[in-house]
Amino acid sequence: MESKDGGSGERRISSVRDEMEMSKEERDDFLRDHGAGVLSLAHGSESYAFPVSYGYDPSDELLCVMLGYAPESEKRGWLRETENATFVVHEMYDGLEAASVVLRGALVEVGEDEAAACYDAMSDNAAFTALHESGALLENTEYVVYRLDTDTSVGRRFEHDIEGF
C-alpha cells in the first residue's frame, strides 16, 4: 500500500502511533485512575490470563497485585514458569474510543519491608470485587503480594481525531 508521498506508508503509521502514544504522566494518571487489569502469565507457547485488582503508586512507579491461591490453584505453577508477565489495563469509551496501558516485567513476591508500600498503593486505587474468584473458602486460601518490576510500559489512546484518520 502506497501513501500519498509514494512511500510504503511506514512513515504515516509511525506518526499515527506517535500521536496515539501516552506520555509517562498520562500513563501514570491512567493507572492511578483504574484499579483492575488483566495479568498474563506464560510457559512456553501456553498462556494463562486472568483479571486482577492492583494498586499503583506513580511516585515510585510501583504496581502491586495480591494473588489468592486456593488449594488447587493453577496460578502458582504458572507464576513460577513466567519470566516476564504482561499486565494490561484498558477502558472503552463512548464512540468506540479507547485507551490502554500495557506493562511487561517480572512479578516479584514482596517481603515484609515492601508490603506496607504495596498495601498503601492497593488501598488508594485497587478495585476489589465482592466475590472470591477461586470459589474456595477464605480460610483455605493463601494470599501473596507481588510487585511488577516493569521493563516496558506503553500507553495508547485510540481516538477518532488522530491526524490522518
Distances (CA, A) of 139 to 54, 68, 73, 119: 22, 11, 14, 20
Cβ neighbours of 49 (radius 10 Å): 15
Cell numbers that stand for 51 in this block? 483479571
Spell out the per-residue pLDDT of the chain, length 165, in tens.
Answer: 444 445 555 555 445 556 689 999 999 999 999 999 999 999 999 999 999 999 999 998 999 999 988 888 888 899 999 999 999 999 988 777 899 999 999 999 999 989 999 999 999 888 876 545 556 666 778 889 999 999 999 999 887 554 444
User: What global pTM score does this model have?
Assistant: 0.80
Q: How far, in whole angstroms, is CA 104 from its chain's centroid?
A: 8
